[in-house]
Chain A
Amino acid sequence: MEDTELEISPAPSDQNSPSLSISSSSSPSVSLPSTPSSSCGSTQPVAPLLGVINEGVCELSLVIDAEVAQRACHEVLQKVKLQQVGSDDVTDLHEQTDPVVPGGPSGPIAAEEEAKPEGLVPGTVKSTRRRQKHNPSKQSWLLRLFESKLFDVAMAISYLHNSKEPGVQAYIGNRLFSFSHEEVDFYLPQLLNMYIHMDEDVGDAIKPYVVHRCRQSISFSLQCAWLLGAYSSDMHISTQRHSRGTKLRKLILSDELKPVGARARREALTLTPFCPALPHSTATTAASGSLVPDHGLSPSKRTHQRSKSDATVSISLSSNLKRTASNPKVESSQDEDSSSSSDSLEFETGPPVRLAPQREFIKSLMGIGKRLATLPTKEQKTQRLISELSLLNHKLPGRVWLPTAAFDHHVVRVPHTQAVVLNSKDKAPYLIYVEVLECENFETSSVPIRIPENRIRSTRSVENLPDCGMTAEQRAGSFSVVPNYDNDDEAWSVDDIGELQVELPELHASSCDNISQFSVDSITSLESKEPIFIAAGDIRRRLSEQLAQAPTTFRRDPEDPSAVALKEPWEEKVRRIREASPYGHLPHWRLLSVIVKCGDDLRQELLASQVLQQLQSIWQQERVPLWIRPYKILVLSSDSGMIEPVVNAVSLHQVKKQSQLSLLDYFLQEHGATTSENFLSAQRNFVQSCAGYSLICYLLQVKDRHNGNILLDSEGHIIHIDFGFILSSSPKNLGFETSAFKLTAEFVDVMGGPDGDMFNYYKMLMLQGLIAARKHMDRVLQIVEIMQQGTQLPCFHGSSTMRQLKERFHMSLTEEQLQLLIHQLVDGSMRSLTTKLYDGFQYLTNGIM
């Protein structure tokens, strides 16, 4: 039916038709039960397609799903061919060679690409494609490439970006479904930026995938909404395209994109409130067989993978729905479900319960940041932060999570006294620690029950006050005086002492030769009246010994509260917070930390982080031991976001200020003598990380490299942070920092001087790293290039950003020439006067050493 319509209608008017035809033609072939849905949704062209593919994903394993997608792609391509030639001559659909269609690589070149395992770079494909414009036999080769095993997300994104063919774009849009979520998630900023800023065909190709994923996952929905908001912000409000991005954002935030099952269930709920789990579970069991109805009733034990858990998502979500519904019958009918999700304190909000708690959580964190910025001194900021967080604590736990974390969890508590305000001149970024409970899936696992802050003691009080229950009834009859109750001593004091004394030997087992032990003994054996003598000198000696033993912590400095907090080893901090936490005893307890930035644009950071990740994976793939540490960036809007802090690391500035030592001496102090194993491994770490970051600084032109932006971790790695000035932007355009990267004499000293082996190793690493990066240059360029679209980011200022970036990979140089180049760069950086100047400038203006 629709196929024929398609053929008749003129090509430009039916942008959506290919997808429509996919759904109608592909569904019978897999024999899905839901064919009616594709026809009923005809008012909105996208919906039916989604319905079908969505269920395909839930019900079929990934392999079959990929087949479906590929089959669909196949047909799209054929359709494209059809359209191209449709007007004049109807060619055979199954004919493999079509002379008119442009954009297909020629046979020999495609074969060449297949023969070369990793040499398949989108850029070359693009160029070859251009070359092939006049070559007749090609279409099938492109298709073959797309269907080959080598076709990965990077290529898909590249083709999506470079191809002008709606058919190819639609095909790739469908191919996205066959990639794993993690792979595609890496390119999410690129996808969404294309969706916002590129033409409609690309948008239409991407949208189904995005919508589909949004239905599946809350975190994906939010991620999309935030990114869409952030990347739309540079546009003029009037533009029509602008409204496309914001429209999708609104659609996501309105929470229309619930899992399909949930919507069905909501209807079921209103009809049959007393057996709500039944209609849905039968529907799903019929299709998948993997879901037993029991699963729906006990959301706590759940074992399927995320891709399959759609049905259970809908169940726990519907229990959310039910709570907001005013029908008391429904409320009382399923106490099992409600106890799992409504026991905990979720943020009380309006109807879109699915996304609301998390949005509310993020909003309050941002609100704190904004209010902090108004306070003048750091001390006030810290105090305010702590008190604000203690308020936030009252609303936890809830179905909220830290998007920067690597595993699923629920946030249960913010240990507010641990939070610190970070060093910044006029904004107020802050670091918080967050206690979470790991769970299988934050969308379906039940939210942990709130444990009051001071629970430790309430158990005892209850034991000690047994009569609270009896009073009302028993005393009602008579006025008889009950014997004195107020046995103060017994109730409160005795075991306190016991507890204390039991605790202590454990806490200070290391110093058991002390006098306090002595005195405890002497209390127990009071009979022996023999006086015990002690030497005053011993007391004095113990005092100074114990003071000397105290670990090298940084001094508390009201002007720099973060230094102490960051110096504390992460494990120790975790242990300490865990001990103090009422949730600490739970096996899934974890501690996370996050930096909340308010008033800063993190889009550049995100870009840099993506490039870092890409380079890291390239270096891993090429087995070059360069060390870098990309950290997670979460863009919430164009002026706010979150950063995953690097644990066990302090900035060089803090190191120097607190220790008053040179970097080498600090290494010696922390890791031991130059010949010790500790020092050597720290030095190796230092060199490997230096090489990695030197390359990155060079390639990305990272500026503002003062010591406050370079961290040193406990293993000796340096870690660059703050990629606010990259590519074409530089701070205040002062023209400082003309050197390729920061390499001070101090760094070289740690490497063992400019003549040492380690310094040569450093240069060698850089060379290897650059060669590897050059080999995969396109994977890096692609990330940057797509983000250039429609942006006002300062790093893309000017027109030559991409060209210059490409030039820095020096494709034309031989390896010998590259080696020379590295030497020049290193020498230049070492002798760079501007680096020193810039450090001096930072010291004068910001007090950074």
Chain B
Amino acid sequence: MSQLDKKAGLLRRTSSSKKTLKEKVVLMYDEIFSKEDPAKNAPRFWDELFLMKVNLEYLELKLESVDEEVQHSQANINALFHYCIQALGEEHPIKVVNALQTLCALFRGVHQKNRSASGFDIINLLMGFDKAEQRMKDLMERLDSLLCGEGSESLKSLCLKLMLCLVTVTDNISQNTILEYVMINSIFEAILRILSDVSSKHLHGYDPVVLLALLVNYRKYESVNPYIVKLSIVDDEPTLDGMGMVIQQALTEYNRQFRDKQEETQGGFFSTLTSMVGSMFIADADEKLSVQTNEAILLALYEAVHLNRNFITVLAQVRSNIANSSTMLETILSLCRVVMNNPELPLDPNLQTTNLLITFLKYASILMQDTKDEHRLNSARLCLIILTCIAEDQYANAFLHDDNINFRVNLHKMVNLMVEFIVTHMMKDFPMDLYLRCVQIIHKLLCYQKKCRIRLHYTWRELWSALINLVKFLLSNETTLLVKHNIFHLALLVVNLFNMFITYGDTFLPSSNSYDELYYEIVRMHQVFDNLYCMVLRVSTNTGQWKEAASKVTYALVNIRAIINHFNPKIESYTALNHISQLSEEQVLEVVRSNYDTLTLKLQDGLDQFERYSEQPKEAAFFKELVRSISLNVRKNVSLNTMSQDVLLKEFSTIS
């Protein structure tokens, strides 16, 4: 009764003053942005403030509109910031929630307003220069204890959102000066803890991983980033596992979506129509979005693979989805109260028998199907960079090549993926960069196999014919391609792959037949190599930009030409001798086998040497752009998520 009365009274007063109806919290915000200390008249002002439901939009708007009065309202904003941090220590979860959201709004509002302002000004406006260090230390400590504490998972989730919000307020993460405090007061351990905790990692989704990936990229090249240092030495298995699991989930989800969509399109006419219509509006947007969101996930995967040597084991480890799916089921059950009486589910063979690497390879192959879109191209590039790192790491190789692991499909898949890529991307808009990476990955794998004498049971013929086709393509599009790319470099790499097989085939080919087949393939396609030789000879004799690059190819072709010149006459004479017009493959192989001994090859230097991947000068620009794009995307999505978080917390408030 009394409450009703109060409400009525309130209404009457506002209506009489003919003002628009305002929430109490809004009024309080207004007070903050006035000149006076709001607590002067109402000593419990700050206490009350955090009991109110936050009005994010209004607060942000208010912050944006602050301009000239910055000077006098700064004290109040500082105070608000201070009390927010204080409120984080409160026992009442509602206050903590509100404080977190207020902080979110503060960070965002201030940055939106002062886009051009220097980081120092922003810090001054929010916390005041003299107190900034202490304030941020407090904030980080509070967040740390919230994240590590026993508290509610949604609180932790909100903490992560706040961090994501803070990390992404600027387009260029390295210009976000506040992060310097985040570097000093590291919350790395807290993030890891969340990742290692089986029960919580499913609830927070990708946030902790994305946050980590972003923090690692803060002033990566300019200063010592403690997150890089720490990430590189993590060796706690559950944590790394947890990280791998989150990444795998994200990629699996994308793969699943893709498969579903494919199945849909394979359906009847009607379903194709509806899906077309549907995809015009929803699916397409969805899909684009998820490629973009996955950029962050891929970045996280890259950083983990690149920085942390222990992560490699996680990559190749057989993931036990049983445990995950069951715990996931539990959480789903507890959250949605959906009864899933499908006992078959955790035993779905597709679900269990996978590991992160396989999932990643699947993802990469889907991604590479279409690289026209810039995001997809970037993602594909990142995928190839990750694969390069994997192919270079001797431990990863040891895992991939381990003969005693009972199912060893990874390596086949990896080579298959490369072959698939080579075959499918010979187009006008030639992705030279991707091709180079792709061929280099194969080269690195071969180098490892040669070193360790591992014989992969792979039908290398597929690779050979793909490579020959690539050369063919380069030749026929020479003029158009030369405008943009140095095709001789790629040609050199391809020819050297052949040289690897020719000179070191004894160390890694699976059977003696495959060595014969190599010769057969070269002899069969000798036209292509002849043409290539003519072309590079022509270019290298002319003076020009490509003279040197082309002459390298000329030199590299020496053994292939020797083979062609050796066997072609032999085959011709065999044909003439036996009066056969067309030799069968078996007959050619016979000729090859019987004429090895008279063939002398030249040993070329450095075939098994390769340039090692280094992020620093070469890829820095790419990563900078990538991080920028991820920041924008995360910022956009975090706001949405905070709103849904709001809904969740409403429920939360009624419980407590």
Q: Are B407 and A516 in contact, CB atoms less than 8 angstroms apart?
A: no
Query: B458 near A: Cβ within 8 Å?
Result: no
User: What residues on A are CB-neighbors of B406 within 8 Å?
Assistant: 382-383, 386, 417, 420, 561
* Contact of B616 with A488 in the complex, beta carbons under 8 Å: yes
Does A514 make an interface contact (CB < 8 A)? yes
Are B235 and A454 in contact, CB atoms less than 8 angstroms apart? yes
**Does residue A543 face the partner (Cβ distance < 8 Å to B)?**
yes
Interface membership of chain A positions 785-823, coded 1 if the CB is closer than 8 angstroms to chain B and 0 otherwise: 000000000000000000000000000000000000000
Report if A40 contacts B (CB, 8 A).
no
Among B236, B310, B321, B596, point to the contact of A540 (Cβ < 8 A): B596
User: Bound complex: CA of A496 vs CA of B320, how far in Å?
Assistant: 31
Flag if B233 contacts A462 (CB, 8 Å).
Answer: yes
Q: Is the CB of A472 within 8 A of B310?
A: no
Which of chain A's residues has its CB closest to B405's CB? Answer: A417
Whether a CB of chain B sits under 8 angstroms from the CB of A271 is no
B515 within 8 A of A: yes
Establish whether residues A500 and B603, one from each chain, have CB atoms under 8 Å apart when the complex forms. Answer: no
| Cβ-neighbour of B226 out of A461, A471, A493, A518 (below 8 A) | A471
Contact yes or no, A465 B506, CB < 8 A: no
Please name all residues of chain B whose beta carbon is closer than 8 Å to the beta carbon of A29 when the two chains form the complex. Answer: none
Q: Contacts A384-B352, A519-B607, A543-B512; is A418 near B404 (CB within 8 Å)?
A: yes
Q: Which of A50-58, A59-67, A528-536 contacts B (4 or more CB under 8 A)?
A: A528-536
* A544 close to B (CB within 8 Å): yes
Q: A131 on the interface (CB 8 Å rule)?
A: no
Q: Determine the distance from Cα of A689 to Cα of B440 in the docked complex, in whole angstroms.
A: 58
Among B54-62, B263-271, B449-457, B488-496, the one that faces the other chain is B449-457
Q: Within 8 Å CB of A484, what residues of B? A: 221-223
Among B10-18, B66-74, B180-188, B253-261, which stretch is in contact with chain A? B180-188
- Residues from 448 to 490 in A contacting B, C-beta threshold 8 Å: 452-458, 460-462, 465, 467-468, 471-472, 475-476, 479, 481-482, 484-486, 488-489
- Distance (whole angstroms) from the CB of B632 to the closest CB of chain A: 24
Asked if B407 and A379 sit within 8 Å, CB to CB, the answer is yes
Residues of A within 8 A of B650 (CB): none
Minimum Cβ distance to chain B for residue A775 (Å): 49
A544 with B180: CB separation less than 8 A = no
* Cβ–Cβ contact A457 & B310, under 8 A: yes
* B144-203 interface with A by 8 A CB criterion: 177, 180, 183-186
- Please measure, in the bound complex, the distance between the C-alpha atom of A576 and the C-alpha atom of B403, giving whole angstroms: 12
**What residues of A have a CB within 8 angstroms of the CB of B598 in the complex?**
537
Identify B309's interface contact among A371, A461, A471, A499, CB under 8 A.
Answer: A461
Interface flag for B114 (CB, 8 Å): no
A516 in complex: contacting residue of B235, B502, B507, CB < 8 Å: B507
B600 touching A533 by the CB < 8 A rule?
Answer: yes
Number of residues from A at the complex interface, CB < 8 A: 76
Confirm or deny: A523 has a beta carbon within 8 angstroms of a beta carbon on chain B: yes
Closest residue on chain B to residue A494 by CB atoms: B612
In the complex, A34 has a CB within 8 A of chain B: no
Q: Nearest Cβ in chain A — how far from B305, in angstroms?
A: 11
A163 located at the interface, meaning its Cβ lies under 8 Å from any Cβ of chain B in the complex: no
Query: Would you call A547 an interface residue if the criterion is a C-beta within 8 Å of the partner chain's C-beta atoms?
Result: yes
Q: Does B586 have its Cβ within 8 Å of any Cβ on chain A?
A: no
CB nearest neighbor in A for B229: A468
For chain A residues 527-555, which have a beta carbon within 8 Å of chain B?
Answer: 531-537, 539-540, 542-544, 546-547
- B651 close to A (CB within 8 Å): no
How distant is the Cα of A236 from the Cα of B320 in the complex, in angstroms? 41
B507 in contact with A486 (CB, 8 Å): no
Residues of B within 8 A of A486 (CB): 220-221, 228, 615-616
Taking a contact as CB atoms under 8 Å apart, the answer to whether A543 and B506 are in contact is yes
Query: Is A515 within 8 A of B504, CB to CB?
Result: yes
B322 partner residues in chain A, CB cutoff 8 A: 371, 384, 387-388
- B323 CB–A CB distance under 8 Å: yes
CB neighbours of A457 from chain B (8 A): 309-310, 395
B394 touches A390 (CB 8 A): no
Q: Are A488 and B453 in contact (CB under 8 A)?
A: no
- Contact between B616 and A533, CB atoms less than 8 A apart: no
Among the 9-residue stretches B311-319, B360-368, B477-485, the one with 4 or more Cβ atoms under 8 Å from chain A is B311-319
Q: What separation, in Å, do the CA atoms of A458 and B240 have in the docked complex?
A: 13
In the complex, A533 Cα to B596 Cα: how many Å? 14
B608 touches A468 (CB 8 A): no
Is A475 a contact of B183 with CB atoms below 8 Å? yes
The answer to whether B309 touches A454 (Cβ under 8 A) is: yes
Is B318 a contact of A390 with CB atoms below 8 Å?
yes
Q: Which of A500, A534, A547 is in CB contact (< 8 Å) with B512?
A: A547
Q: Does A91 contact B (CB under 8 A)?
A: no
CA A531 to CA B394, docked complex, whole Å: 31
Check: A522 CB closer than 8 A to any chain B CB.
Answer: yes
| Shortest distance from the beta carbon of B406 to any chain A beta carbon, whole Å | 5
Q: What are the residues of chain A within 8 A of B347 when measuring CB–CB?
A: 374-375
B569 interface residue per 8 A CB criterion = no
A504 close to chain B: CB less than 8 A: yes
Interface presence of A394 (CB below 8 A): yes
- Is B208 interfacial (CB-CB < 8 Å)? no
A471 to B229 alpha-carbon distance, docked (Å): 10
Q: Does A509 lie at the interface of the complex (its beta carbon under 8 Å from any beta carbon of B)?
A: no
0 or 1 for each of B223-238: is its CB under 8 Å from A? (1 = yes): 1111011101101111
- For A383, the closest partner residue in chain B by CB is B353
Instruction: Check if A533 sits within 8 Å of B601, measured CB to CB.
Output: yes
CB proximity of B213 to chain A, nearest CB, Å: 16
Indicate if B133 sits at the interface (CB-CB under 8 A): yes
Question: Is B609 an interface residue when CB atoms closer than 8 A count as contact?
Answer: yes
Contact A514 B506 (CB under 8 A): yes
Verify if B392 is at the interface (C-beta below 8 Å from A): yes
Asked if B5 is an interface residue, CB under 8 A from chain A, the answer is no
Which listed residue (A461, A488, A535, A539) contacts B505, Cβ 8 A? A539
- Which of B319, B563, B606 is within 8 Å of A523, CB to CB? B606
A526 proximal to B (CB < 8 A): yes
Assembled-state Cα–Cα distance A462/B402 (Å): 27
B605 touches A383 (CB 8 A): no
Partner of A471, one of B222, B224, B352, B511: B224
Q: Is A512 an interface residue (CB 8 A)?
A: no
Pair B407/A394 contact, Cβ less than 8 Å: no
Provide the residues of chain A in CB contact with B393, threshold 8 Å.
Answer: 496
Cα distance, A394 to B319, chains bound together (Å): 13
Q: Counting CB contacts under 8 A, is A508 at the interface?
A: yes
Is the pair B320, A515 in contact by a Cβ cutoff of 8 Å? no
Judging by beta carbons under 8 Å apart, are B233 and A468 in contact?
Answer: yes
Chain A residues with Cβ below 8 Å from B133 are 476
Any chain B CB within 8 A of the CB of A237?
A: no
Q: Pick the residue among B226, B504, B597 that contacts A537 (CB under 8 A).
A: B597
The distance in angstroms between the C-alpha atoms of A500 and B318, with both chains bound, is 26
Q: Does A380 sit within 8 A of B, measured CB to CB? A: yes
CB distance B597 to A452 under 8 Å?
no
- How far apart sit A468 and B451, CA to CA, in the bound complex (Å)? 35
Q: Which residues on the B side are within 8 Å of A482 (C-beta)?
A: 223-224
A391 within 8 A of B: yes
Instruction: Tell me whether B237 and A452 are in contact (CB under 8 A).
Output: yes
B506-A542 in contact (CB<8A): yes
Question: Does A1 make an interface contact (CB < 8 A)?
Answer: no
Minimal Cβ-Cβ distance residue in B for A466: B229
**Complex: chain B residue closest to A416, CB-CB:** B318
CA distance A468 to B450 in the complex (A): 37
CA of A533 to CA of B601 in the docked complex: distance in angstroms?
A: 6
List chain B positions with a Cβ less than 8 A from chain A.
133, 177, 180, 183-186, 220-226, 228-230, 232-233, 235-238, 308-310, 312-313, 317-323, 347, 349, 352-353, 392-395, 402, 404-407, 450-453, 455, 502-507, 509, 511-512, 515-516, 563, 593, 596-603, 605-609, 612, 614-616
Return the 9 tightest CB-CB contacts between A and B, nearest first: A387-B320, A537-B596, A537-B597, A543-B506, A544-B512, A536-B599, A532-B603, A542-B506, A454-B310
6 A-B pairs within 8 Å (CB atoms) are namely A375-B349, A386-B406, A387-B321, A452-B235, A507-B453, A543-B512
Other A-B pairs beyond A374-B347, A519-B608, A535-B600, 15, CB < 8 Å: A383-B352, A383-B353, A384-B352, A386-B318, A394-B238, A417-B406, A453-B310, A454-B235, A457-B310, A458-B310, A475-B183, A484-B222, A486-B220, A492-B612, A539-B505
